Amino acid sequence: MSTIKKHTIAFYNTENLFDIYDSEKTNDSDLTPTADKRWTAKRFGEKINKIGFAISNIGMLETNKHPAIIGLAEVENASVIKNLIASKYLKNFKYRFIHYNSKDERGIDVALVYDTSVFKVETSKPYSIELFNNAYKADYTRDILLVSGFLDDVKIHLIINHWSSRRAGEKETEHKRLAASNKVAEIISSLQNDDSNSKIIVMGDFNEEPNSYNVKRLVDGLKLFNPMEGFQSYKRGTVTHKRKWLVFDQIFFTNNLIEPEEDNLKFEQANIFDAPFLKNSNGRHKGSPFRTYIGKKYHGGFSDHFPVYIILKK
């Protein structure tokens, strides 16, 4: 009798995983040792270890091992990811990563970390999103990353996202997320044109909930399955805003991962990784994500988002 193998695929917005150096090309001067936030080498090292510890535990309960694949958001550059996979809680795993510098004005990107013992990369490609501001000048945001490869000898395609934030207002920024939604639909359609049975997993911080227009049109229009729809409630989510829970971080995928052919990858479950150590333990923010900063004040936590994950079995 063959043994059932289980794999965790996760996504984590790491809340400004920046190095301590001021880059001339991006707006990152607030995260340096001499800035108001006092972003020092010590604090950077503590953050790297905390994020590494969190990643090492995602899906551990279900699979008894570290994640096979992790999509990341809010990483500044390749250097910080190298530090992350070399950190004490991840260094013994066979992790490598894929990252491309985007033209995002704040200098934050998406990336993919993967265990080379179970996932073999075939191709990767970044896709930029064409946006314009009110003066009709190019308005740059994070690229969308497509990585194709073989997980446990089954070909899958991973699309990693970090859609534009609502900072300037939900309605004022919705067109940016619509553009990102269109780009993801374009990528999926292209993959399905090449192979109608493509196994596609879309993950990211969408800055919108599962029932929002830009996510829903993607999921319904391309007949995808979004298990994160079941996590929308007043007492649980991936991020809080004005003390309200929101499920901005999601993983959804093609239906052939629910009813696959024999000896193929099959979706088993999805969850928010909101272990107690990732939460504020007291005060008025008790239970919400234990973040690195609250405004300019150093809080010493992990991230302002909880990771999300799915378990696939074969």
Give residue for tokens 């150096």.
21
Residue 147 has pLDDT above 80, yes or no: yes
pLDDT at position 30, please? 83
* pTM reported for the whole predicted model: 0.95
- 36 vs 38: CA distance, rounded Å: 5
Residues 231-249 have a mean pLDDT of 92
Residue 46 has pLDDT above 80, yes or no: yes
User: Which residues are bridge partners to 245 per DSSP?
Assistant: 240
pLDDT at position 260, please? 72
Q: Which two tokens stand for residue 181?
A: 């939604």
More confident residue, 253 or 103: 253
Residue 3 has pLDDT above 90, yes or no: no
Cβ neighbors of 221 (< 8 A, separation 6 or more) are 185
- 7 vs 69: CA distance, rounded Å: 8
Residue 63 has pLDDT above 70, yes or no: yes
Would you place residue 1 in the very low, low, confident or very high pLDDT band (cuts 50, 70, 90)? Answer: very low
Backbone angles phi and psi of 104, in degrees to 5: -55, 135
pLDDT at position 173, please? 83
Residues 29-35 have a mean pLDDT of 84
DSSP structural state of residue 72: E
Backbone angles phi and psi of 42, in degrees to 5: -65, -45
263-278 residue pLDDT tens: 799 999 999 999 999 9
Q: What single-letter amino acid sits at 245?
A: W
What is 151-182 written as a DSSP string? ETTEEEEEEEEEPPPSTT-HHHHHHHHHHHHH
Q: Which two tokens stand for residue 304?
A: 């302002």
For residues 270 and 9, the answer to whether their CB atoms sit within 8 Å is no
Backbone angles phi and psi of 78, in degrees to 5: -65, -35
Would you place residue 253 in the very low, low, confident or very high pLDDT band (cuts 50, 70, 90)? Answer: very high
Residues 211-227 have a mean pLDDT of 97
Alpha carbon 118 to chain centroid, angstroms: 20
Residue 157 has pLDDT above 90, yes or no: yes
DSSP structural state of residue 59: T
Alpha carbon 89 to chain centroid, angstroms: 19
pLDDT at position 134, please? 66
pLDDT at position 25, please? 67
Residue 199 has pLDDT above 60, yes or no: yes
Helices 78-85 and 41-57: crossing angle, nearest 10°?
A: 60
User: Which residues are bridge partners to 168 per DSSP?
Assistant: none
- 15 vs 267: CA distance, rounded Å: 28
Would you place residue 171 in the very low, low, confident or very high pLDDT band (cuts 50, 70, 90)? Answer: confident
Which of 18-32, 70-84, 129-143, 170-184 ranks highest by mean pLDDT?
70-84
Residue 174 has pLDDT above 50, yes or no: yes
Domains of the chain with CATH codes? 6-313 (3.60.10.10)
For residues 77 and 127, the answer to whether their CB atoms sit within 8 Å is no
Residues 33-52 have a mean pLDDT of 94
- Tally of CA atoms within 13 A in the half-sphere of 120 that contains its CB: 6
pLDDT at position 60, please? 98
Would you place residue 2 in the very low, low, confident or very high pLDDT band (cuts 50, 70, 90)? Answer: low
Would you place residue 136 in the very low, low, confident or very high pLDDT band (cuts 50, 70, 90)? Answer: low
Mean pLDDT, all residues of the chain: 93
Residues 300-309 have a mean pLDDT of 97
What is the helix (H) or strand (E) element at residue 309, kind and residue range? strand 308-313
- 11 vs 69: CA distance, rounded Å: 8
DSSP structural state of residue 64: S
Residue 168 has pLDDT above 80, yes or no: no
- Cα dihedral sign for 24, 133, 165, 293? positive
Cβ neighbors of 131 (< 8 A, separation 6 or more) are 138, 139, 140, 141, 164, 176, 179
